[in-house]
Chain A
Amino acid sequence: MYEIVSMKELVPDIFEAVVKAPEMAKKAKAGEFLIVMADEKGERIPLTVADYDREAGTITIVFMTIGKSTYKLSKMKAGDSYYAFVGPLGHASEIKDYGTVICVAGGVGTAPIYPIARALKKAGNKIITIQGARNKDLIFWEDKMASVSDEHIIMTDDGTHGRKGLVTEPLKEILERDGDKVGIIYAIGPIPMMKFSALTSKPFGNLTMVSLNSIMVDGTGMCGGCRCEVKGETKFTCVDGPEFDGHQVDWNLLGSRQRIYLDQEKESLDNYKAEEGA
């Protein structure tokens, strides 16, 4: 069993759990993911590693409540244990000195991008972070991101914090200004945000890595449920990714595949909420 050491709601609907998993904590690297099951009847859901503490033997995950499985996770408290917690899985981010790196974090995507930015900073890169959310109440880990960034731009849709607008706006400005110094862009967040970040950087030709959060079962290449198309080729997010060149991802297909179970997910969540309410 994998005990939850601490649990908190970072901002409305986004939770952070620190989990006892010494074996995984020894191995985990930025960019990798893990699979979590709340209980025996639960789904296996993939989450990107948000942080790890090798000494304490813990892994940090951050998730947003969307369906029944994430709601279940959000109800668990420190002292409770997950039924399964498997990883680390997938490929780690390629950490090296690229010169300047732009980290574009959208909403809950701030969590997986943080350890990547930290590792890249340590490798000698200049880190420009663009952190976006709908409004100021949804920005989390601002201090953490600031601590690993040379330049830190906050964007909100309504302008309640930082600049008003989408993350793609400063991205474009920086690329226009200093594009040739930018060795790599990391864009992690909701699919539309990653898609438009990739579209924004495409004309400039800067490599733009995105981290896909495809629906999975085993996470080890066995089922193929997480397949996506990159450069016209079928890839498995679990074993070939989760990071891919955002300029080559078939975003429409990815979006469709995320909607396969929409009706069932709704049914499941409605049932769960009714039970919880009762």
Chain B
Amino acid sequence: MGEEVVKKPKRKERMPMPEQDPKVRATNFKEVPLGYTEEMAIEEAIRCAQCKVPACVCGCPVNINIPAFIKEIAEGNFAAAARKIKETNALPAVCGRVCPQESQCEAQCVYNRMGRAICIGRLERFAADYERDNNLIELPEKAQPNGKKVAVVGSGPSGLTVAGDLIQLGYEVTIFEAFHKPGGVLMYGIPEFRLPKAIVESEVNYLVQLGVKIQYNSIVGKTVEVDELLGEKGYDAVFIGVGAGLPKFLGIPGENYGGVYSANEYLTRSNLMKAYKFPEYDTPIVMGKRVCVIGGGNVAMDSARTAVRLGADTYIVYRRAREQMPARGEEIHHAEEEGVKMMLLTNPVEIIGDEDNMAKALKCVKMELGEPDESGRSRPVEIEGSEHDIEFDLIINSIGANANPLLTKSTEGLELNKWGYIVADDYGKTSKDNVWAAGDIVTGMATVIEAMGAGRMSAMDIHEKLMGVPKNIEISPEALPDDLECTLPETKK
């Protein structure tokens, strides 16, 4: 099969992934992209140049050996491909779905210059799904128990990564999770149609099979304190990966009316509590006929696409221009395909309620782009006299999060920055002895894979501090030669 490619003179385009039709999927919560078939995966995999110095690996926060797993797919060894990925990433089916590959591994692909980067994310997803769906998951060999105990606070992306890394190195690992389900943002934040919950549970189950213990309904800072974990509970280290967690509100009048949600609440009701299946599940949700989501990030898109599926006429209200939306292009595209409408350069100034304090309209002003601000984006400036009311019966605030003080306030000796985030070095080490932290509670809101990458660093540092094993210094994009040239398939061999 490889030879065929060598001879092929024409470079192939990226292999598209089949998706549910927008009209159909706007009425269900099933996953939107359907995944590659085996044939599609092989065809895409054999496009890979197998670069000697693979820049894609540097673009991956957990440094997956991308050429190696793609080679396995090209050769039809799908389960082997999944195992290759799992050497450095315990959550391939999750990452294959939610990573922003276009700005990470695929951005570094030599073919990206021609707009034909290898579809690394789709292949990752394919390999992981193949292994899981065919019951081919095998547990890797673990190191001998080293007698050290580590407590991981939070079972989101960073916590799961730390747990997965340390369990394989011989540690006894217990995750303390506040909710009744694992996964953190993967479970409560990202909707089913983007990341099926059965897949999250399956990837977590892989860690459980490796020996990771999960204590649900345990709120560190309340049910148990960090100092208790390090003291009487006998843990040698504590890793904090609790996420950012506290929703931001706009601070405009009327925000506490009924029918005004934080995106956190809206998505948690729908995703974790399965309110979209009400009344089969007991948790209700305000459905709304005309719904407005305030914000332009990925969470706003998730909220809007959820509202569409719950039958609402849905709008995004964003105070800047489309080009400035922080959401992934793919998410915006999917939202619009499903019927979400954009009200750009529109800034909410007040929520208007009815006689029973339920939201009924949003007062907005129109904006225009002015001089660039400190973020380098043109600052939106209000157009005078442009105030207008737009009728909505459900308003979802999706403008970000602040640091949740629940754990940090109850933990002495943990240095915080002025916004309440934990101060940690590049390896997640905090100011408190034997305590590491990573993910959103250190950096503020970021991506799943960034949290995983940071978790990886913490795991290595914990291993060095507790067992004296020096950290594996990872290659970084800066370390690559400037004149990096990869061999293209047709000239290879």
Contact = CB atoms under 8 A, between A and B. Distances in A.
A40 B281 CA distance: 9
B468 interface: no
Interface stretch (A147-155, A177-185, A252-260): A252-260
Contact of B282 (A69, A86, A88, A227): A69
A76 interface: no
B273 A217 contact: yes
A84 B218 CA distance: 10
B245 A220 contact: yes
Contacts of A87: 219, 222-223
Contacts of B406: 220-221, 239
Contacts of B223: 23-24, 27, 86-88
Contacts of A89: 219, 222
A83 B258 CA distance: 29
A237 to B, nearest CB: 12
Contacts of A218: 178-179, 268
A66 interface: no
Interface in A195-249: 217-218, 220-225, 227-229, 234, 239
Contacts of A72: 282
B247 interface: yes
Given A89-B219, A89-B222, A218-B268, A228 B256 contact: yes
A268 B219 CA distance: 30
A229 B256 CA distance: 8
Interface stretch (B132-140, B259-267, B448-456): B259-267
A150 to B, nearest CB: 33
B273 A44 contact: yes
A16 interface: no
Interface string B457-492: 000000000000000000000000000000000000
Contacts of B281: 41
A222 B264 contact: yes
Contacts of A68: 282
A217 B268 contact: yes
A85 B217 CA distance: 7
Contact of A268 (B257, B269, B274, B282): B282
Interface residues of A, number: 44
Nearest to A252: B357
Given A83-B180, A84-B180, A222 B247 contact: yes
Most buried by A among B219, B245, B405: B219
Contacts of A267: 279
B256 A41 contact: no
A260 B258 contact: yes
B258 A268 contact: no
Contact of B180 (A37, A257, A259, A268): A37
Contacts of A261: 284, 286
A36 to B, nearest CB: 10
Nearest to B267: A223
B280 interface: yes
B302 interface: no
Contacts of B245: 220-222
8 contacts: A41-B281, A84-B216, A221-B246, A223-B264, A224-B246, A225-B265, A261-B284, A264-B278
Interface of B: 178-180, 216-219, 222-224, 245-247, 249, 255-259, 261-262, 264-265, 268-269, 273-274, 278-284, 286, 356-358, 404-406
Interface of A: 23-24, 27, 37, 40-44, 68-69, 72, 83-89, 217-218, 220-225, 227-229, 234, 239, 252-253, 256-257, 259-261, 264-265, 267-268, 271
Given A83-B180, A223-B247, A224-B265, 6 more contacts: A87-B219, A89-B219, A217-B283, A218-B178, A253-B357, A257-B256
